[in-house]
Structure 1
Amino acid sequence: MRLNLSSEIVLNKVPLAYYKPKTTVEYSEISRMEKIHTDIFASSMEGAAHVADQVEKEIKAAQHEGRYYVMALGTGLSLTPIYKELQRRCEAKQLSFRNVVVFNAYEYYPVQKESSLKSINQLKERFLDHVDIDPQNIFTLDGSVAQDAVQDTCHLYEKRIKTFGGLDIALLGIGRMGNIAANEPGSGIQSITRLILIGNTSREEMENSFGTNEQVPPCSLTMGIATLLSAKSVYLTAWGDEKAEIMQKVIEGNITDTLPASFLQTHPNANVILDLSAASHLTRIKHPWLVTNCEWTDKLVRSALVWLCQKLHKPILKLTNKDYNENGLSELLALYGSAYNANIKIFNDLQHTITGWPGGKPNADDTYRPERAKPFPKRVIVFSPHPDDDVISMGGTIRRLVQQKHEVHVAYETSGNIAVGDEEVTRFMHFINGFNQIFADSKDSVISKKYQEIKEFFAHKKESDFDTRDILTIKGLIRRGEARTACTFNEIPLNRVHFLDLPFYESGKIEKLPMTEKDVEIVRALLQEVKPHQIYVAGDLADPHGTHKKCTDAVLAAIDEEKKAGAEWLKDCRIWMYRGAWAEWEIENIEMCVPLSPEELRAKRNSILKHQSQMESAPFLGNDERLFWQRAEDRNRGTAQLYDELGLACYEAMEAFVEYIPL
């Protein structure tokens, strides 16, 4: 069973020449906008293997020379695949770490000596405990020292690095603010090991990486920028769409202390290792016509013309031959004969993505429509990772499908119980307890006892405490109630509302269990029951906790198993991916766009607001300060505005979709 199919989704097939140039000359041409040497790989596994190759070669060279190999190591999640590959080689007796000395890049401050919340513990759990390194060769900053000893501790750390001959390599990940190690924006290029205040975004990332409810301390002892740059080589790794924007700034932007990783541009042997997703905003991937001759596809042509329109502030049909020639797109003139021909082609392509009939328009010519007319009505399943992703991402489309008489099912894949605040439980328990006292006339009932038990738990609850199973159940019930209310508002019968409660989610912690075949079989059973003609699934994989990705993997794996089994229903089914909670589809990838009127957008907002526990008190909003209904409206309006600026119809808002073709 293939459990990681979302990682194989390729919206735009990137020619090998763009990220694997054959010669140094070709690399120089394609990467001329980049200020740090950057290697791009098709997957994180390939990238991790490349870094492991370099580390293995250098460790063995040091062994041959009879010296230590000194490493500065970070604990970011992007380094995990590298650590796993190095561990595999060690277990296979291919590589030994007996001559390796490790310096932990940063440690939280202040922490108790016995605290489990230490970055060195993460480093050991993910890597060091699984290789044959001598424990005496592992060094970390002491986050438990008194404040008046911090400066001496940091100076001693610098001296100890020098006693081993300096750093041979620094392996680093990157935070959402461009931080490396714990060097926050504002860190200077001359900074050395020191105490630093951790920003809110970085603390959230660190807490997520621990996967607990315990709060990371407010400060960190960290290697400075100068310390990291003193290494003979530096490797910075990043994987996934969520790192694409920050990596483009680091690699192609200016050096600035507001983006600490940009200082790597000054290092003579700095190397950035990316997968295609993390590299997607680099010029050679996103705008290759600016650096090389292109292999033109319909999507690339659309991307180029949208870029040109935005640059010149013109609609598509007003672009001229001169516009193409002056902006590096003369190849398209040769390909299409004139700007007019290219303009009409892309204008029509975009026009054909717009439909007010997301389930297909009955008795209509569907040649140029994104969805087929028959069968009608269709059976539809909307898979929602959390109990509100459906209305956040495609609430307007759901209402259209219902109003157009399709049989719409909504499947909530997880309970979403960890994203409910304790005050919500207290509020509901107050109501239940009051109801019980008035109508049950019994103060000794099970409900009263449970109320007192939960009240007592909350009274003594610490930040690091996990909720009891009873409290998680209540939180799950709260979210179920909200989901049912939203579905009723959207006129979906409750017998078509399914709560799958996939087992991987029920860890009670931020960090979830691995997604397994058990999760897939639950999804598959629903597919076999409904036999849908349309499936909507989350394509919004930038969710910082990874729940969206696991849920989408479960659906895609279930579809894959049904395809292997030769399921007849799948032959007449289309799968559409939505976004909205964390990002929006790029216009070159949009294949169906559903317009919303002002009234429909207001109805969508109201359906989102039915999820009251996710309003101001929602625990997990990420680094976007807007609430989810605000994000959804802004993104939907933004898509409509982009279509308007390109010279197409002007709508209040639009919801966008991309089709998934089963592998």
Structure 2
Amino acid sequence: MRLNLSSQIVLNKVPVEFYKPKTTVEYSEISRMEKIHTDIFASMAEGASHVADGIEAGIKAAQHEGKFYVMALGTGSSLSAVYEELIRRYQTKRLSFRNVVIFNAYEYYPLQKNSSIRSINQLKEHFLDHIDIEEQNIFTLDGFVAQESVQDCCRLYEQHIKSFGGFDIALIGIGRSGNIAANEPGSSIQSMTRIILIGNISRKEMEASEKTKETIPPCSLTMGIATLLSAKTVYLTAWGEEKAEIMQKVVENSFTDTLPASFLQTHPDAHVVLDLGAACQLTRIVHPWLVTSCQWTDKMIRSALVWLCQKIGKPILKLTNKDYNENGLSELLALYGSAYNANIKIFNDLQHTITGWPGGKPNADDTYRPERSTPYPKRVIVFSPHPDDDVISMGGTIRRLVQQNHDVHVAYETSGNIAVGDEEVTRFMHFINGFNQLFTDSKDSVITTKYKEIKSFFANKKESDFDTKDVLTIKGLIRRGEARTACTYNQIPLDHVHFLDLPFYESGKIEKLPMTEKDVEIVRALLQKVKPHQIYVAGDLADPHGTHKKCTDAVLAAIDLEKEAGAEWLKDCRIWMYRGAWAEWEIENIEMCVPLSPEELRAKRNSILKHQSQMESAPFLGNDERLFWQRAEDRNRATAKLYDHLGLACYEAMEAFVEYKPL
């Protein structure tokens, strides 16, 4: 069973030669905009294996010479895959860590005696506790040290590093603000180990990484930029589209203290290792015509013309031969003969993505339409990772499908219970208790008992405490009720509303369980029951908490199993990927775009607002201060504005989709 198919989605868009050149000469050509040696891999697993290869070689070379191999190690999700690969190599007796010395890159400060939050604990949990490293070879900064001794502590740490001959390697990840270790923007290239205030963006990332509700201390003791750059070799890893923008700046822009990771440009042996998601904004991936000759596919031509339109501020049909020649696109003139011919081709391609019939228009010529006219009506399943992603991402399209008489099912893959605030539970419990008092004279002992239990739990609940099973159940019920209300508003029958409650989500914590075959079989059972002609699935893999990716992997794995089994229904089914609150599809990749009128956009907003627990009090709004309905409207309006600026059509808003073809 293939449980990680979402990681291969990007492969459908990027030619191998752009991220995996065959020769050094080819690499030097396509990477000419990059100021740090950058290796791009098809998946996180391949990238992690590459980094592990370098570490393994270094460790074995040191063992052969009878020396220590000294490593500076960071923590966080960017490094987890590397640690897992190193652990695997130890467990298969391929690699020993007996001669390895570890220095933890940073520690929180000040730490309380009973605090479970320690950076070194995370490093041990994800790596050190699973290998044969000697305990005396593990060093970390002392987050418990008195304030007057902090400087001495940091100086002593530097001396310890020097006493082992310095670092052979530094292995670090990157934060969304461009920080490495805990070096926040503004850190100097000469900075040594020191105390530093943790920024808001880094704090939220650390909280997510620690998988705890306990408050992160305000400061950190961290290796400085100069400390990290003193390593003979530096590896920086990043995975996923959420890191793409920051990695483009680090790799291709000039180095600056506003982006601490960019100082790696000054290191003689620094290596950036990315998957295709994290590399998707590098020039060789997104604008390859600027660095090499291209095999011009329809999508690449579309991408080039959209880029040219945005660069010079013209709609497609006004581009001239001169515009092409002056901006590195003369190859297209040779291919098409003139700007006019290329313009018309791409204008028509983009125009054909626009449809008011997302389920296909019956009795119509569908040659140039995104969807088939038959069968009509279609059976449709919309898979929603949380009980509001459906309306946030494609609420207008759902209403259009229902109004056009398609048989629409909505499948909510997780309960979404941890994203409900305690005040919502309190409000509902007050109602239930009041109902009990008014209509049964408080005779329902279950309500009375549970009301007292939950009231007492909240009164004594600490910030770091996780909810009880009863509280999580109530929070799940709240989200179910909101989802049903939104579906009723969109005229979807309640027997077409499915709550899958995939087991991986039900950890009761921020950190989820691994997605397994059990999750996949639940999805597969629904597919076998409905036998849909259309499936809509989340392609918004930049969700910062990872739930979307796991949910999408479960759906794709279930489809994969059905394909292997030769399911007849799948031969007449198309799979469309939507994006939600976190990002939008690039226009060159959009294959179906559904326009919304002002009234339809207002109806979409109303359906989002039915999810009251996810409004102002939602715990996981992220760094974006806009509410979910605001994000959705801004995103949909921006898509419509882009189509308008390209000279295609002027709509109030548009929802975009990309087709997924089973691998």
For the superposition of Structure 1 and Structure 2, which TM-score range results when normalised by the shorter chain? Answer: over 0.9
Q: 1:235: how far off?
A: 0.6
RMSD: 1.2
One-letter identity of the residue aligned with 2:221: L
Paired residue secondary structure (2:180): coil
Q: Does 1:55 align with 2:66?
A: no
Amino acid at match of 1:413: E
Would you say 1:583 and 2:583 are equivalent positions?
Answer: yes
Q: 1:152 is paired with a residue of what secondary structure?
A: helix
Query: Residue 458 of structure 1 aligns with which residue?
Result: 458
Q: Which residue of 2 aligns with 1:298?
A: 298
Cα distance in 1 for residues equivalent to 2:337 and 2:464: 66
Whichever residue aligns with residue 336 of structure 2, its letter is Y
Q: Is the 8 A contact 2:436 2:444 kept in 1?
A: no
Partners of 2:656 and 2:620 lie apart in 1 by 24
Residue 418 (structure 1) aligns with: 418
Letter matched to residue 246 of structure 1: I
Asked if structure 2 preserves the Cα contact closer than 8 Å seen for 1:11 and 1:589, the reply is: no
Residues 10 and 277, structure 2, Cα contact 8 Å, conserved in 1:
no
Q: How far off is 1:386 after superposition?
A: 0.2
Deviates more, 1:373-382 or 1:104-113: 104-113
Q: How far did 1:463 drift?
A: 1.0
Q: Is the 8 A contact 2:178 2:185 kept in 1?
A: yes
CA deviation string 1:346-367 (max 9, x = no partner): 0000000000000111111111
CA distance in 2, matches of 1:15, 1:495: 44
CA distance in 2, matches of 1:477, 1:199: 36
1:474 Cα deviation (Å)?
A: 0.6
Distance 2:627 2:13 in 1: 34
- How far the C-alpha of 1:94 sits from its partner, in A, is 2.5
Deviations 1:357-402 (A, max 9, x none): 0011111111100011111111111110000000000000000011
Alignment of 1:518-533 (within 5 A): 518-533=518-533
SS in 2 for 1:186: coil
Residues 89 and 441 from structure 1, CA distance in 2 versus in 1: closer, same or farther, beyond 3 angstroms? same
Matching residue of 1:90? 90
Q: What secondary structure sits across from 1:358 in the alignment?
A: coil
Question: Percent of aligned pairs with the same residue?
Answer: 85
Tell me by how many angstroms 1:53 deviates.
1.6
Residue 5 of structure 1: aligned partner = 5
Partner Cα separation in structure 2 for residue 250 and residue 243 of structure 1: 11
Please tell me the residue identity of whatever aligns with 1:618. Answer: A
Aligned-partner SS, 1:38: strand
Q: Does 1:143 align with 2:115?
A: no
Shift of 1:203: 1.6
1:221-245 C-alpha deviation (Å, 9 max, x unpaired):
1111111111111110011111111
CA deviation string 1:527-552 (max 9, x = no partner): 11111111110000111111101111
What's the CA shift string for 1:579-624, capped at 9, x where partnerless? Answer: 0211000001000000000110011011101111101111001221
Whether the aligned pair in 2 keeps the contact of 1:578 and 1:657 (CA below 8 Å) is yes
Separation (CA, whole Å) in 2 of partners of 1:480 and 1:191: 52
SS of 1:354's partner is: coil
Deviation at 1:4, TM superposition (A): 1.2
CA distance in 2, matches of 1:523, 1:650: 38
Please identify runs of 4+ aligned residues in structure 1 that moved more than 4 A. Answer: none
Verify: 1:605 aligned to 2:605, yes or no. Answer: yes
Q: Does 1:505 align with 2:505?
A: yes
In the alignment, what sits opposite 2:277?
A: 277
Partner SS for 2:437: helix
Deviation, structure 1 residue 42: 1.6
In structure 1, C-alpha distance between the alignment counterparts of 2:444 and 2:589, rounded to whole Å: 61
Write out per-residue CA displacement over residues 70-121 of structure 1, whole angstroms, 9 at most, x where no aligned residue: 1000012121221122222223332222211110001111223453311111
Instruction: Check the 8 A contact 1:415/1:479 in 2, yes or no.
Output: yes
The answer to which of 141-150 and 297-306 deviates more is: 141-150
Aligned residue in 2 for 1:78: 78
- SS of residue paired to 1:6: helix
Partner of 1:260: 260
Determine the C-alpha separation between the residues in 1 that align with 2:36 and 2:444.
70
Displacement after TM superposition at 1:405 (Å): 0.8
Write the distance in 1 (CA, Å) between the matches of 2:90 and 2:646. 56
> How many pairs align?
663
Correspondence 1:220 to 2:220: yes
2:385 paired with 1:385: yes
Corresponding residue of 2:537: 537
Q: Deviations over 1:190-246 (max 9, x none)?
A: 111111111222122112122222222221111111111111111100111111111
Q: Once the two structures are superposed, what CA deviation does each residue of 1:112-139 show, in whole Å capped at 9, x if it has no partner?
A: 3453311111111111112221110100
Residue equivalent to 2:174? 174
SS of the counterpart of 1:71? strand
Report the AA paired with residue 48 of structure 1: A
Contact preservation (8 Å) 2:69, 2:101: yes
For 1:530 and 1:63, the matched residues in 2 are separated by 59
* CA deviation vs aligned residue, 1:442-475 (integer Å, no higher than 9, x gap): 2662212211111111011011101000000110
In the other structure, the counterpart of 2:514 is 514
Q: Does 1:286 align with 2:286?
A: yes
Q: Give the letter for the 2:250 counterpart.
A: V
Question: What is aligned with 1:358?
Answer: 358
Unaligned runs of 5+ in 2: none
- Tell me, in whole angstroms, the C-alpha distance in 2 between the residues paired with 1:419 and 1:368: 42
What is the alpha-carbon distance in structure 2 between the residues aligned to residue 309 and residue 600 of structure 1? 29
